[in-house]
Structure 1
Amino acid sequence: MQQRRLGQTGPLTSALGLGLMGMSDFYGSADEGESIATIHAALEAGVTLLDTGDFYGVGHNESLLGRALQQSSRREQAVVSLKFGALRDPSGGFIGYDNRPKSVKNFLAHSLQRLGLDHVDIYRPSRLDPEVPIEDTIGAIAELQQAGYVRHIGLSEVGVDTIRRAAATAPISDLQIEYSLLSRGIEDAILPTVRELGIGVTAYGVLSRGLITGDWRRPEAGEFDFRAISPRFQEGNVEHNLALAEALGAVAEARGITRAQAAIAWVAAQGQDIVPLVGARRRDRLRESLDALDVALSAEDLAAIERAVPKGAAAGGRYPAQQLAFMDSER
């Protein structure tokens, strides 16, 4: 397994990480047995970076990961990346963010219990809480780090000013943020800033929630799927975006790889300081993603991909407008 270090101060991890969110939330139902088998297959293949959040499935995702690690002989190699701060009500709705220092410590106490761990490797606020200075939140994580409950401090979906203020408070390992052929906004200011500061990037959404691969379906009645409200999947946008995916598919086919592999390899090729996260929920999808690590894109390949999916070509925002309004990374 190829490895990459997350920033100047972060851990050494596999060059590809596994995002667990879809095993519990946002993309319809998932088979729990297959989810655990996929986590085990990832660990067996040398994948070390496992990403979760305490609000994914309202704790279910952490419990799932905890069971998977307990059943694995490779649990010690796992680098657990954990997000916190998003608040949910009993119906599963989102009701804001809480990044107050006392809440940070309370959230971690519950997370460690669900995970069955005595520490997490990377702890990060899922979004900026506009009512709490980032210095206060990062300071609280630094106290947990000094006490041995956290190994490294990360950020998620924040902009340049917040990144600089956080990094001035404590060493930051990495910024987790959406980055893909269809979401390249970080290239303008955020990516240069984290590189200046020696902060790595864990890139989620590299397959644009299945849009790039075409591996999605409209949800059944009563089934929640984030894509039902995502602008890029709405009528008028989705047809345009699927055409981009088809163009990428032609490039990938000529190269003898799949669309997913082309998209993952493209993100990985943007720098050794970037670790793509894939949200595989099944072992066959995981294997396809892992094979992308063996794809070395040439300058000609990268140019062909750029022509097929030019920067800014996607139709529709990456989140609904009301969610983007609260995202510090979009300011």
Structure 2
Amino acid sequence: MQTRNLNGLTTSAIGFGAMVLVDGMYGHVDDTRSPATLHHAIDAGATLIDTADAYAAGANEQLVGKAIAGRRDEVQLATKWGIVFEGGRVVHHAHAQEIRVDGRPERAREAAEASLRRLGVDVIDLWYLHFPDPDVPVQETIGAMAELVREGKVRHLGLSNVTAEQVIAAHQVHPLAAVQGEYSLWTREPERELLPVLKELGIGFVPWSPLGAGFLAGSADHIGTAGEDFRANHPRFAPQNLAANRDRFAPLRELAQEREITPAQLALAWLLHQGDDLVPIPGTRTPSHLDENLAAAEIVLDADTLARIGELAPAGVAAGAALL
């Protein structure tokens, strides 16, 4: 697996998003299968493992911690904090649920130490603020997070789901290694403001949902019911929008077939060609799909192919609103 640099943090070119190992995201999860999936990811070279304290109320961090026990030096461990289930401020409605955050500086230490305990490690490689708190200047939150870096409990800081202005403000307080946000061939909004700022400041970008919640991989034929599959509440997976999106993105599937690669590989390879400081984190529970995703790091798309992809999937082509 090739490596990439996120402003000082070297990781695999493609990471692994562990959120898919949570019940209620893409259906039921087999607890015995999840550790095997993580082991396979590491064995195959996906060394950036991404989780969050909000995934299954901390259980996802515990799962990741158990899976990497004895293999800590083989991975770059990323987690997030800031989402709360009571109190806080509502910042978004997603998955048909409110997303509430509490990014007060006094909570940072408590959150970091709780994540360290669940993960069973001494240091977090990349620690993100999951969502900015609308009642707290991001500079204040990052300032508190930076104290954990100085104490050696965190190596690098990041932000998730933020604006370009928030990145600039936070980066002046403490250098950011990476920003995480939704980015794919059906969600290209970061190209307008966020990505130019990150490139100017030398900050890496970690796209979440790089396969459009499975749509770009062709795995949206069977959507589970609400409560077991979050896509049941996603605007782009509503029946009318989903039908329109299948038609609109059909030419991309045909292009992948022409190039003798899978649609997922085309989507991931396109992302990797957007800059050498992007590290997508697709998630899957299937080892064969994991191998397929990671093989995208070896695919070279020529200028004509990249131009054609841009014509077939311009910004705004997807029917339905983005998730956030």
AA aligned to 1:149 is K
Report SS of the residue matched to 2:217: coil
Report SS of the residue matched to 1:177: strand
Query: Which aligned runs of 4 or more in structure 1 are off by greater than 4 angstroms?
Result: 92-95
Q: 1:182-230: per-residue Cα shift (whole Å, max 9, x none)?
A: 011011111101111111101111100011122132214x643211111
Which residue of structure 1 lines up, in the alignment, with residue 146 of structure 2? Answer: 142
Is the contact made by 1:122 and 1:152 (CA closer than 8 Å) also made in structure 2?
yes
Is the contact made by 1:212 and 1:242 (CA closer than 8 Å) also made in structure 2?
no
Report SS of the residue matched to 1:212: helix
Question: Shift in Å at residue 161 of structure 1?
Answer: 1.2
Correspondence 1:252-267 to 2 at 5 A: 252-267=256-271
Which residue of structure 1 lines up, in the alignment, with residue 75 of structure 2? Answer: 78
Q: 1:27-85: per-residue Cα shift (whole Å, max 9, x none)?
A: 22122222211211111122210000000011111011011011xx5321211111111
Which residue of structure 1 lines up, in the alignment, with residue 159 of structure 2? Answer: 155
Distance 1:51 1:35 in 2: 14
Which residue of structure 2 lines up, in the alignment, with residue 315 of structure 1? Answer: 319
Distance 1:34 1:307 in 2: 40
The answer to whether residue 198 in structure 2 is matched with residue 194 in structure 1 is yes
The answer to whether residue 301 in structure 2 is matched with residue 297 in structure 1 is yes
Distance 2:129 2:209 in 1: 18
Instruction: State the aligned residue count.
Output: 313
Percent identity over paired residues? 41
- Of residues 121, 126, 137, the one that matches 2:125 is 121
Report SS of the residue matched to 1:242: helix
Is the contact made by 2:218 and 2:264 (CA closer than 8 Å) also made in structure 1?
no
Which residue of structure 1 lines up, in the alignment, with residue 16 of structure 2? Answer: 18
AA aligned to 2:84 is L
Distance 2:284 2:269 in 1: 16
Distance 1:313 1:223 in 2: 28
The answer to whether residue 63 in structure 2 is matched with residue 64 in structure 1 is yes
AA aligned to 2:22 is S
AA aligned to 2:315 is K
Report SS of the residue matched to 1:57: helix
Which residue of structure 1 lines up, in the alignment, with residue 224 of structure 2? Answer: 219
AA aligned to 1:59 is G
The answer to whether residue 109 in structure 2 is matched with residue 105 in structure 1 is yes
Alpha carbon RMSD of aligned pairs, Å? Answer: 1.5
Distance 2:301 2:71 in 1: 31
Give the unaligned 5+ runs of structure 1.
325-331
Distance 1:214 1:226 in 2: 17
Report SS of the residue matched to 1:277: coil
Report SS of the residue matched to 1:176: strand
Question: Shift in Å at residue 94 of structure 1?
Answer: 4.3
AA aligned to 1:203 is P
Is the contact made by 2:218 and 2:263 (CA closer than 8 Å) also made in structure 1?
no
AA aligned to 2:21 is M
Which residue of structure 1 lines up, in the alignment, with residue 93 of structure 2? Answer: none
Correspondence 1:82-97 to 2 at 5 A: 82-88=79-85, 94=98, 96-97=100-101
Distance 1:83 1:307 in 2: 35
Q: What TM-score comes out, normalization by structure 2 length?
A: 0.93
Q: 1:236-270: per-residue Cα shift (whole Å, max 9, x none)?
A: 21111112332211000000000000000000010
Distance 2:59 2:204 in 1: 28
Q: What TM-score comes out, normalization by structure 1 length?
A: 0.91
Is the contact made by 2:65 and 2:118 (CA closer than 8 Å) also made in structure 1?
yes
Distance 2:285 2:259 in 1: 26
Distance 1:119 1:260, change over 3 A: same
AA aligned to 1:5 is N
